[in-house]
Structure 1
């Protein structure tokens, strides 16, 4: 039996985010991209994070950006659009032995026919 996916979808990792992280497929919704990006942070997949970030907003990423110990992902809500989408989530991490949430409302856009992460929003538009 395969390990459950890091993104907390309930699916096995090979049938969920692994197909995206290995390049066998690309997410067709903003929510599936969000889930795969979370799994990329957990597994330390910097190339995937760069590829799934909008080129205009992607910062310089290094191995230091992957030091956080992530524990689980909770999708609060998502709104899928034709050219832009929004996903609100809580990504839980371990800090000094305690689980803490990172809460974000994220903007995703289609870029060259692929969903990419653009930036955090201050609130639902």
Structure 2
């Protein structure tokens, strides 16, 4: 029996990839790794992890209704890692009424208490 693949699209087993972050065994050390783990958290309904990895200044009130979307796959287009801010551009696909839809976002990440956190979508970035 093979291990479940990680929803983030890395090709690695979940336990050896984002599962380490979702379980609290480790914390992502890059914005891209955090982005991937947040996708895995959305896909698996891990609300606590999403709150923990969201900038407290921009984190909305979240509840289980926010996790009803069935996310199907992730593609990281590009990632620019910096010291004070990082940017990750990605496409994520989800199912709605048995039809797959695409979400495209350029996300801003920044350090908070020595850990990367998701700030929100970035507009106007080339």
TM-score range, shorter chain: over 0.9
- Which runs of structure 2 are paired with 1:42-121 in the superposition (5 Å)? 42-121=43-122
Give me the whole-angstrom Cα distance separating, in 1, the residues matched to 2:84 and 2:12.
27
CA positional deviation for 1:124: 1.8
Give me the whole-angstrom Cα distance separating, in 2, the residues matched to 1:47 and 1:3.
21
Give me the whole-angstrom Cα distance separating, in 2, the residues matched to 1:71 and 1:12.
16
Alignment match, 1:16: 17
Q: Decide whether the 8 Å contact of 1:6 with 1:39 is kept in 2.
A: yes
CA positional deviation for 1:123: 3.2
With normalisation by structure 2, the TM-score equals 0.96
Q: Deviations over 1:22-47 (max 9, x none)?
A: 10000000000000000000111000
List alignment gaps of at least 5 residues for structure 1: none
Report how many aligned residue pairs link the two structures. 125
Q: Detail structure 1 runs of 4+ shifted over 2 Å in the superposition.
A: none
List alignment gaps of at least 5 residues for structure 2: none
Q: What RMSD in Å do the two structures reach over aligned CA positions?
A: 0.8
Q: Decide whether the 8 Å contact of 1:42 with 1:70 is kept in 2.
A: yes
